[in-house]
Amino acid sequence: MMLHEFSAPSPKQASEILSMVPYRQRLKVGRMRWPSGFMPAPVRSLHEVHISLMIDEKSTPAIHFPSLSVWVDKVVGDSELARVIDTCASDDDNSYADRCRELHEIIGMRLAQLREIADLSDF
Amino acid sequence: MHRQGLRIFLVLSGVFVAAIGVGYYAARFQPTGRGVGQAPYLFFDHLPWMPFVAAFLGIILSSMTRRVACYIDRDGERVLRFDFVARLNHWLIALPCIVVIFSGLALGVFFIPRLTPDGQATAFLFNIHFVAVVFMLVGFFYLLGNWVLSPRRLFAFIPFVGGKANPIYEGLIFYLHRAGLTKRTVHPDKFEGSEQLAFLMAMACLFPLVISGFFKVAARFYEFPAGLSHFMNLTHEFFTLALVFYLIMHIPLTTAPWIFAGFKAMVGMGKGGGGYVPLDWAKEENPDWIKHLEAEGKVK
Amino acid sequence: MSIDDLDEKERAMLEPENPGRRKFMLFTGMAGVAGFLAGSFLLPGKLEAMPDSKGFLVVDLNKCQGCGSCMMVCSLGHHGAASQSLSRIQIQQDPFANYPDDVFMAPCHQCEDAPCVQACPVAANRPAMELGNVRMIDQERCIGCEQCINACQFTPSRVQWDPKRHKAQKCDLCTDALYLGEYGGIGGTQACVKVCPVNAISFTIEMPDQSREDSYQVNLRGKGWYARGFSDKD
Amino acid sequence: MINDGWAGHILHLDLTELKAKAISAANYKRWGGGHGLGTALFWDYCEDKTLTDGRDPRNVCVLSSSPFCGTPVPSGGGRTEVTGIGTGQWPISWYTRSNFGGRFSSMMKYAGWDAIVITGKAEHPVWVDIRNGDVAFVDARTLWGKDTHATQEAVWAEIGMRRGTKSAWKLLRNTIDAGRTTQKPAVLCIGPIGENSVHGALINDAGNGAGQGGFGSVWGSKNLKAVSILGAGEVHVADPAGLIQARFITKEKYVDDPDKPDLTGWTGMATGAITVAFSAPPTHKRRPQACQSCIGGCRTRYANGKHNEQSCQETAWYGAFARRFYQDPVDIGNANLDAAHAAALTGINTYGLNSALPWLEYLYHEGVLGPNGKIKSELPWEQLGRPEFAAAFFDCIAQRTDIGADLAEGYLQALHKWGREEDLESGEADFPYWGMANHGYDPRSELEWGYGTLMSERDFNSHDLNNHLFWAPFGSAVSAKPMRIEAERAVELVAERLGPYAKGRKECLDYTESNMYSEALAQLVRWHLHYGRFWKNSCGLCDFKWANFFNTNTNGYWGATGSEDAGEQVWWRVVTGEDMSFEDGIERGRQIYNLDNAIWTLQGRHRDLCKFAPYIYKKDVQGFNLGMFPFFFWPAPDENGKWEYREIGSRHLDEARVEEWKSTFYGLEGWDAKTGWPTRRTLETMDMAFVADELEAVGKLGAER
């Protein structure tokens, strides 16, 4: 699991990145669950992305990584994170599940950092 | 009612009711402590010897009573049909028998469901059954004893022996005549054919019941082969139903209008009380019997 | 009653005495009464020391999934018909209660000095000596007095009532399971143990502590069980 | 014995007269039980089959068990089929079905009843107290308004059953021979939603519900609050030893060892006790919980009793909204489970919310719905995701306040009332068929599911092929593990069971675009419909466990389905004594399916009504579903005919070709392709002339080819 050093944005930028984007700019993701199937669950914040990347034995995130990095870059406004997402998502030796786990961890670290900067312990 | 009959009847029923009361409280009696749980007191389980004792009490009783021969009381215009012993014996079997049957049926027989909600109520029913059984056994063995003492009384019930006619033919004609389907008539002795058959039927039920009953009780202190126990359990249930069917016929046919005088004699009411039937009625119903009594000079 | 109760006509019609027979009857009666009264004191008391059962069912209340398969197979194996009321093991549920109190499993304990055995008046319910002393009710001997049902000190009572036959029945560790399709009993199969989809019932030859009711409730959860996400820890 | 597997009698509850009558089951045995039995009873007892709303007093609702119920047939002993005309569907509420698990059907059998036929309408609210043969109608005015759990507890109290366990033996009546039990009665009831005739569910115990069809409101419209059933009897089977042995074999051969599970196995039925709940559990202190006779419980009970038995979709539909407000997965889970709890108490079917809530939120953000929108709603939409919102939402639905008034009639009814047809063009309102929510297996990609729904009357919800051909390879692919069974073999194993229509025809399982409208696919859908109609919905085999086409616990990977030692027909034989083959059962399913279609026809069905929502024909799945999901795996042959698990790409259905496909399908069923109606010849070959006569009488008999 590679470590990522993110540069620290200003508190203002940080809280912008953390904020919830307008409904129309939501990222369409979802979840596959046995046996109920696919359930759309669009996300509107980095925090929601983080949670929807979690893996458990009965369900799997349904996230299109390229769209994700574009969305993080253009809509959320965290180009640095977007780049990391790209590299990690395109790592084909990793299984889809592992990539989700890794992204979950990376975004988790970024969230922690941003929250600290923006001084939002409970977002 | 004849006074000694009344006395005896009151004494018996008193003892009987008292016994059932005891049975009820016994059924509620619950010793405590591990290994006992909630155990009602069952007469059958704790006094299994009592029915056997009752049997011998019946025999003793027979040795203590004396019989009066049937005779024609001219001036009384009546005939003694059932002496006191006969009446006592009949009711000593009959009354407990009713209780025995009802308590037995309520415990569930073949397709007939058990009517009690729990072990306690069941125990109470068993205790009632027990008390009645004890009385009935006294009566039943009193009967056997009496036969030993005066076999001719037994023979009066036996077809061809008491009353020479073919009982089936006699019984048939008797009822056909009643129904007005035939002009022919019969001349019964003391017991008309159908009565004799009924007697045989009663005995055919009572003997297996008593014997299988003794086996069931004896199982408390002696281990019979399982198959035998099973057979005896089934026998007991089967002849219970048989006896019920017998009584369904016996009771109406012995209280029917044409024979009601006989019934009154048996309960001890009627002309002059205690076991007598009107002479005219007897002439009508049992002409041969009257003939025999007269022939034997049993006339006073 | 006495002769005085008879009127003079009846007295005249008294049947002739037969002193010989009369005495004989009296004697027989007396002898019988005396004999049985005396015998009653010599009657054998309850069973002498009851041998322990050589097999027991233990259960895991935290594992049971409440599917009732054990109950159905139990009654099927013994009666050829599936029934909860005729099952020798009883599983109870309260869907709204908190785990683990939402399920209760009630197998027969095959008790030491089993009260149900002691309560049986006709020795129908007794240890099957040649079959590992499993406490079982001989349906041929049972007279349906319900005393064993009352005697069981556990709730629900581990003795069932067969309303069709008016007889009591209890767990025999499948000794008498005629419809099992294989040998049951100690050394053989116990249908409930074999069918349980989560292995929440187990057969043991170790007699659980008789002083505690919960000694029959054991932990049958293996590693794989926790891998399924079930646990006692948070 | 003639009654092997059968209780022998059917209970007719006439609510108008408040009378209970017993009907002999003898004439209904050919229908097998469950859906077949219920449909045959509906056919006989519903006087007007043209009804299009289940809330009409003339509607007949049947609860039916099956010969398997009350016996240890693995995952077959505990399901109850509910049939009748439903509510809340579009354009017509068809004669439909639903089923639920738990204890109700086994209790029904032990009480001596194979089915319960409910007709008429009571003057005031009643509940029905059934104890073996004794049936009593009890005034339910004191229960009316109670939630589903409180109702069940109240009924237990009425019958003298205390809460909790360790209860003593209880008499059904006042004598021991009237039967004793240690069990609580199984109480099937409705919540406030059903009482107010809003399409809702029937609930039994904590987690068993019949949701589809909205039968809760059917009961509500009949003033029927609950049916309590307590049975102390027995179910006779033809071959007890055979049944027990086959059950042992199932456990030992097909099912995982409970203590050594093969969690990556491709075992279908056989994973054993695995909880199907999608929220992080509030506590790990929990047990599995199963329907009667199940080989592996899919529900769970927690140390906090509150969320007991909540499972599958109801534990997921709210999570996506809840995560906006919480960080900790357990908090999100709890918010979801609380919402699920509220749903269970009010007795709503949450499946519709899968599509309804996202759509309503969309309308809110479009400014169409809300305090200032064209559609007035005072609900706190910004709080969507908090349990409070869910509670408020259910309340407005149950009480028909706010948008509840419109939604009460059905989601598409509301959509049309609000003039939002455009949302069906865009797919924002994701109701692909019959006004019902998208199940999560989009008809454009999972063809057998979509066509199966189109050719029946409700969301297909049959996971047979889905479990084996999608989920199994999916599981391996997601974590880049090797496929446990190669595509070639998997397809062989499944095709081997597709008799009598397509035995061994692997092309039926080709999910590529080239095969979307083929005759082979029509055969697959036929098989699937008929298999489900009999073996699952009529015999009561659980959809989560059956069919079992392949199984990595066995040599050669043969599954239990159709097998000689534990196949469907084996259970039928040991229980009923009737030597019927696996394929005979499918033929019976065909007859039942024909009876269904006859009723739909009488209700006014025509092939022109059997259409997907517009967006299914216009929009690709792309972007909406598969685009964000790298592998939606289904078997497909490559150009050399070698089978592989291939991600079936973005695509939509072509309306004209779907119409062709329908004609093919109708042809194969022996129906009139012009109308989709059954023909006399077809019906008579199945000894169903009585159906043809009734159709002919109203001029709705299909024309012979």
Nearest-angstrom CA–CA distance, D252 and D260 = 12
More reliable by pLDDT, D100 or C20: D100
pLDDT single digits (tens) D631-685: 778 899 999 999 999 888 778 999 999 999 999 999 999 999 999 999 999 999 9
Chosen for mutation from C61, C76, C90, C153 (greatest number of chain D CBs closer than 10 Å) is C76
- Contact across the interface for D177 and B118, Cβ inside 8 Å: no
- Using a CB-CB cut-off of 8 Å, the residues of chain B touching C22 are 63, 149
Position B28 scores a pLDDT of 67
Is the pLDDT reported for residue C3 higher than 70? no
pLDDT tens track for D23-46: 999 999 999 999 999 999 999 999
Residues B245/B251/B252/B255 CA torsion (nearest 10 deg): 170
CATH architecture classification, D447-697: Orthogonal Bundle (1.10)
Q: Which residue in the set A35, A44, A48 is minimally distant from D544, CB to CB?
A: A35
Provide the pLDDT for residue C45.
Answer: 56
pLDDT at residue D551, rounded to an integer: 94
Residue C228 near chain D (CB below 8 Å): yes
Query: Residue D32: which residues within 8 A CB-CB, separation 6 or more?
Result: D66, D67, D534, D538, D539, D585, D588, D592
User: How does pLDDT run across D581-599, given as a tens digit for each residue?
Assistant: 999 999 999 999 999 999 9
Judged by 3 or more CB pairs under 8 A, whether B touches A is: no
Tens of pLDDT, residues B168-178 = 888 888 888 88
C112: which 2 tokens? 């030491």
d(CA A121, CA A47): 12
Is D241-252+268-426 the same fold as D9-230?
Answer: no
Query: What local confidence, expressed as pLDDT, does residue B5 receive?
Result: 61
Q: Check residue A51 and give its pLDDT.
A: 92
Q: What is the CB neighbour count within 10 angstroms for residue D704?
A: 10
Dihedral of alpha carbons B220, B222, B225, B227, sign: negative
Say whether D175 and B118 touch across the interface (CB within 8 A).
Answer: no
pTM above 0.90, yes or no: yes
**Tally of helices (H runs) and strands (E runs) in chain D:** 24, 21
Domain boundaries, chain D: 9-230, 241-252+268-426, 447-697
pLDDT tens across D266-322, in order?
A: 877 778 888 888 888 888 999 999 999 999 999 999 999 989 999 999 999 998 899
- Which residues on C lie below 8 Å from D167 (Cβ)? 92, 155-156
With an 8 Å Cβ cutoff, is C131 touching chain D?
Answer: no
List the single residue in A with minimal CA-CA distance to D365: A23
- pLDDT category, B114, cuts 50, 70, 90? very high
Helix/strand/coil for B74: coil
> pLDDT-derived band of residue B30, with 50, 70 and 90 as boundaries?
low
- D210-235 pLDDT, tens digit each: 999 999 999 999 999 999 999 999 99
Mean pLDDT along residues B151-164: 80
Looking at CA atoms only, how far is residue C97 from chain D in angstroms? 5
Mean pLDDT of chain D: 94
Provide the residue ranges of all domains of chain B, joining segments of one domain with +. Answer: 50-117+137-295
CATH superfamily entry for domain D9-230 = Aldehyde ferredoxin oxidoreductase, N-terminal domain (3.60.9.10)
- Domains of chain C listed by start with CATH number: 56-221 (3.30.70.20)
**E strand or H helix that includes residue B246:** helix B226-254
Q: What is the pLDDT of residue D330?
A: 87
pLDDT-based confidence at residue B34 (cuts at 50, 70, 90): very low
Question: pLDDT tens-digit profile of D452-482?
Answer: 999 999 999 999 999 999 999 988 888 888 9
Residue A35 has what pLDDT?
A: 84
What per-residue confidence (pLDDT) applies to C1?
47
Q: pLDDT category, D50, cuts 50, 70, 90?
A: very high
Non-local (6+) Cβ contacts of D140 within 8 A are D124, D125, D126, D127, D223, D225, D226
Confidence check: pLDDT of D375 > 70: yes
User: Is the per-residue pLDDT at B38 higher than 90?
Assistant: no
Contact (Cβ atoms closer than 8 angstroms) between residue D637 and residue D498: no
pLDDT digits (tens, 9 = 90+) for C179-192: 999 999 999 999 99
Amino acid at D234: E
Reply yes or no on whether the pLDDT at C47 is more than 70.
no
Distance CA D456, CA D464 (A): 16
Residue whose tokens read 């021979």: D177
First to last CA, chain B: 22
Chains A and D touch (3+ CB pairs under 8 A): yes
CATH 1.10.569 fits D241-252+268-426, yes or no: yes
Q: Bigger pLDDT: D103 or A39?
A: D103
Chain D stretch 124-183, residues whose beta carbon is closer than 8 A to a beta carbon of chain B: 171, 174-178
Q: Collect all residues of chain C within an 8 Å Cβ-Cβ radius of residue D106.
A: 68, 84
Give mean pLDDT, residues D128-153. Answer: 97
CA distance B64 to B58: 10
| pLDDT interval class at B6 (50, 70, 90) | low
**D354, D466, D629, D647: best mutation site toward chain A, by most A Cβ within 10 Å?**
D629
Q: Using CA atoms, how far apart are residues A9 and A14, in angstroms rounded to an integer?
A: 6
Amino acid at D504: G
Q: Do C145 and B123 touch (CB under 8 A)?
A: yes
To which residue do tokens 């008579």 refer? D684
Q: What confidence tens digit (pLDDT) does each residue in D489-524 have?
A: 999 999 999 999 999 999 999 999 999 999 999 999
The model's pLDDT over B237-282, given as tens digits with 9 standing for 90+, comes to: 999 999 999 999 999 999 998 889 889 889 876 555 678 999 999 9
Residues of D in contact with B116 (CB under 8 A): 175-176
Inter-chain contact D480–A98, Cβ cutoff 8 Å? yes
Question: Lowest mean pLDDT: which of A82-96, D54-68, D516-530?
Answer: A82-96
Tell me if ipTM is over 0.85: yes
| Min Cα separation C8/chain D (Å) | 57
Q: What's the whole-number mean pLDDT along residues A90-110?
A: 91
Please say if the pLDDT value at position D686 is more than 50. yes
User: Which H or E run contains D647?
Assistant: strand D643-647
The reply to whether residue D175 touches residue B114, judged by beta carbons under 8 angstroms, is yes
Cβ contact, residue pair B150, C15, below 8 Å: yes
Q: How far is C111 from chain D (nearest CA, A)?
A: 19
Contacts B122 to D, Cβ<8 Å: 176
Q: What is the pLDDT of residues D404-432, one digit of tens each?
A: 999 999 999 999 999 999 999 999 999 99
Q: Is B21 at the interface with chain D, CB within 8 A?
A: no
Q: What distance separates the 2 farthest-apart alpha carbons in chain D?
A: 75
- Burial track C124-163 (b if 16+ CB lie within 10 A, e otherwise): bbbbbeebbbbbbbbebbbbbbbbbbbbbbbebbbbbbbb
Give D471-538 as a DSSP string. IHHHHHHHTTPPPSS-HHHHHHHHHTT-TTTSTT-GGGG--SGGGTT-HHHHHHHHHHHHHIIIIITT
**Please, are residues D110 and D70 in contact by the beta-carbon 8 Å criterion?**
yes
| Cβ neighbours, 10 Å, residue D687 | 10
Q: What is the arithmetic mean of pLDDT over D55-76? A: 97
One-character DSSP codes across chain A: -----PPPPPHHHHHHHHSPPPGGG-B--EEEETTTEEEE--B-SHHHHHHHT--BTTEEEE--HHHHHHHIIIII--HHHHHHHHHHHT-TTS-HHHHHHHHHHHHHHHHHHHHHHHT-TT-
CA–CA separation, A85 vs D46, rounded Å?
A: 61
C163 and D303 within 8 Å at the Cβ level: the answer is no
Distance of CA A73 to the CA centre of its chain: 11
* Closest-CA residue of chain D to A45: D324
Is residue A2 scored above 70 in pLDDT? no
Asked if the Cβ–Cβ distance from C13 to B71 is below 8 Å, we say yes
Taking the C-alpha atoms of residue B105 and residue B237, their distance in angstroms, rounded to an integer, is 9
For residue D257, the one-letter residue type is: D
- State the average pLDDT for chain B: 87
Helix (H) or strand (E) run with residue B193 in it:
helix B193-218
| CA proximity to D33, closest of D53, D10, D60, D57 | D10
Q: Do D440 and A38 touch (CB under 8 A)?
A: yes
Window 55-114 of C, Cβ < 8 Å to D:
62-69, 72-73, 75-77, 79-86, 90, 92-104, 106
Question: What is d(CA A112, CA B89) in angstroms, rounded to the nearest whole number?
Answer: 104
Among D323, D431, D446, which would you mutate to test the A interface (most chain A Cβ atoms within 10 Å of its Cβ)? D323
CB contact under 8 A, D440 and A36: yes
Q: Which CATH architecture has domain B50-117+137-295?
A: Up-down Bundle (1.20)
pLDDT number for residue B33: 41
How many residues does this entry show for chain C? Answer: 234
